[in-house]
Structure 1
Amino acid sequence: MCFGTTGTALALGPADVSPVGAGAIRIVLGGAILGGLLLVRRPSGPPPPPDGDGATRRIPTVALVVIGALAVVAYQPAFFLGTTRIGVAVGTIVALGSAPVFTGIAEWIVSRRFPGLVWTVATIVAVGGVALLASGTEAGVTVDPAGLGGSLLAGASYGVYALVAKVLITRGADPAWTMGALFGLAALASIPLALGTDLRWLTTVDGVAVALWLGVVTTAVAYLLFGRGLAGLSASSASSITLAEPLTAALLGLLLLGERLGLSALAGVVVIALAIVVLVVPWPRIARSGRASAGDGA
């Protein structure tokens, strides 16, 4: 839900805020806050990787942190490339809708365990709900290959850093330390990207308020909660549950920005909510094919 406030914050802010600049500032500020946790938090080990660590067993923790941070940095320009070239609604659908799929596949490869029937059904339903939510909002949009590729890269990047964070937490790292390490390093890498954009909007009160909201709420607070969630959920389930982001964005647009939701969009809201309920309900063990982890969906 914190993620879903990003678009509304930008809409209520200064008119000259560029999406790329806002995205970079978001990571710089939020990453600095999360990185500051490294001064007070220490990883608890990490102990030797457990049996479920699979293909990541031989990858050092430092290398995993670098991989995750690069994925965080890559997400921002890839996401905005997609929304710029193929439209906000379509680009968001492709990026957010593909993220749980990429995460589940990557987790399957790494852990050598199928995410489970519940995840499969819920993810398919949720992706369909996202499509319903944005149907008709981008009529006449031409699908640009570069834009489509950017949105898919954003979804894949999200999947990579979600999975890296899960692996680090599984190895024994504290969730807050994990997010601090990933986003602290990403903040350093995002500084050149931020300085390459027009940042005059930061000289206004509204601009500072938007920057603080993006950095504190949609990044620092959101990813601290996300890290806590990863401690008890599989990366694939956590990624699917964050499809509440477009649902939240749509409701805020309706309540705060005066936007209207059509019948199909309202149906999409219901479908996404249903899919999330399916994921968080503790279904009987027999429903979890592929020997999914006990915490998956609990």
Structure 2
Amino acid sequence: MSKKLAYVAVLIGAILWGTTGTAQTFMPSTIAPLTIASTRLAVGGFTLLLALLLMKKISVRGWPWKLTIIAGLAMALFQFCFFSSVRLTGVAIGTVVAIGSAPIFSGILEWVLLKKKPTKNWMIATVLSIVGCILLFSDKEGMVVNPLGVVLSLGAGLMFAVYTLFNKKMLKQVDAVPAVAITFSISAAVLLPFLFTSSKEGILTVPGIVGTLYLGIAATSIAYIIFSFGLQRISSSSAVTLSLAEPLTAAVLSFFVVGERLAFVSWIGVALLLGGIVVLTFGGSKEEKEMEMKAEIGM
């Protein structure tokens, strides 16, 4: 897979994640957010794992368990922190802080742990995308800045960055499909207790079942498999920045499908987000290639 196709793959994964909010609007509102989070991981992880086991397409011999467990726990904590922060401080603040802080945390982690300095294109794209994300949600009503909610949002951003970094390390040793299956099965097992403590009313209705299957299969299994295929070829910081296509997709779908209003400032945010994605997709691959060539000749 070429670098540009890798960027596109990560982008497609993020777009699929962005359909989550719209899909939830067609599900009964009585289903608690943490119930949705845990069931989507269970459907996405356990179903894929069972299918691979039945086809004998997975082997745990020599499996990088340390990396997988860290990635699985990070994803489970991301789900918990994000949905808890949204409950405390609202969708707008929770989303902006969590999704907007993830690229920053990812860049810092790569710099500290991998000694890999952020590229110029990454910094430009990240700034454009974060500002765009802030403007996208700045017009939302009823915004409440809850300190604990903001801390949990930052925790969610950090956990997504940790998941991406360790998932990339894992993908150097194993294939993407079994990696997603085992990682998300671990995440689902960690979040399983929430199925017994959160509201499940409406989960067994037709909209509840269809929505859960879509979220588990399309917005989780397929999305993260495609994301992982792309992640194998690009840096984790670039992948996390491209994941800002998620709120962009959610906003566009909310306007065209759900019928929500987007103010002029929100459309500016959309434009900046698109700008950041274009800069990273077309400029990032060229810049990373040049850096690789310099490293090979010892410059």
TM-score w.r.t. length of structure 2: 0.86
1:232 maps to 233
User: Judging changes above 3 Å, is the alpha-carbon distance between structure 1 residues 290 and 147 closer, same or farther for their aligned structure 2 residues?
Assistant: farther
Cα distance change, pair 284–174 in 1 and its aligned pair in 2 (3 A): closer
Q: How many residues align?
A: 278
Deviation for aligned residue 1:45: 8.9
- Cα RMSD after superposing both structures: 2.3
Match of 1:156 among 155, 158, 181: 158
Shift in Å, 1:282: 4.4
Distance in 2, matches of 1:107 and 1:293, equals 19
Question: Contact 1:114 / 1:289 at 8 angstroms: preserved in 2?
Answer: no
1:177 corresponds to which residue?
A: 178
Q: Normalized per residue, which structure has more helix?
A: 2
Closer/same/farther in 2, CA of residues 76 and 238 from structure 1, 3 Å limit? same
Residue 192 of structure 1 aligns with which residue? 193
User: Do the aligned partners of residues 176 and 289 (structure 1) sit closer, same or farther apart at CA in structure 2, a change above 3 Å counting?
Assistant: closer
What is the alpha-carbon distance in structure 2 between the residues aligned to residue 157 and residue 87 of structure 1?
19
8 Å Cα contact 2:135/2:268 also seen in 1: yes
Who is 1:23 aligned against? 37
Q: Tell me if 1:35 matches 2:49.
A: yes
CA distance in 2, matches of 1:293, 1:16: 55
C-alpha deviation, 1:61, in angstroms: 2.4
Residues 27-80 of structure 1: per-residue CA shift (max 9 Å, x gap):
11111134336524447997xxxxxxxxxxxxx921111111111111112001
* Structure showing greater relative contact order (alpha-carbon pairs closer than 8 Å, 6 or more residues apart): 2
- In 2 relative to 1, CA 99–204 (structure 1 residues): closer, same or farther, beyond 3 Å? same
Aligned counterparts, 1:121-136, within 5 A: 121-136=124-139
Name the CA shift for 1:45/1:31 in 2 (closer, same or farther; >3 Å): closer
Q: Percent identical across equivalent pairs?
A: 35
CA apart distance, 1:125: 0.8
Structure 1 unaligned residues grouped into runs of 5+:
47-59
User: Residue 14 of structure 1 aligns to which amino acid in structure 2?
Assistant: P
**Alpha-carbon distance, 1:248 to partner:** 0.5
Q: Partner of 2:12 in structure 1? A: none
Q: How far did residue 181 of structure 1 move?
A: 2.1
- Equivalent positions of 1:76-225 (< 5 A) are 76-139=79-142, 141-170=143-172, 172-225=173-226
Q: TM-score, normalised by structure 1?
A: 0.86
Contact 1:100 1:236 in 2 (8 A): yes
* Kept after mapping to 2: 8 A contact 1:93/1:134: yes
Q: Which amino acid aligns with 1:198?
A: S
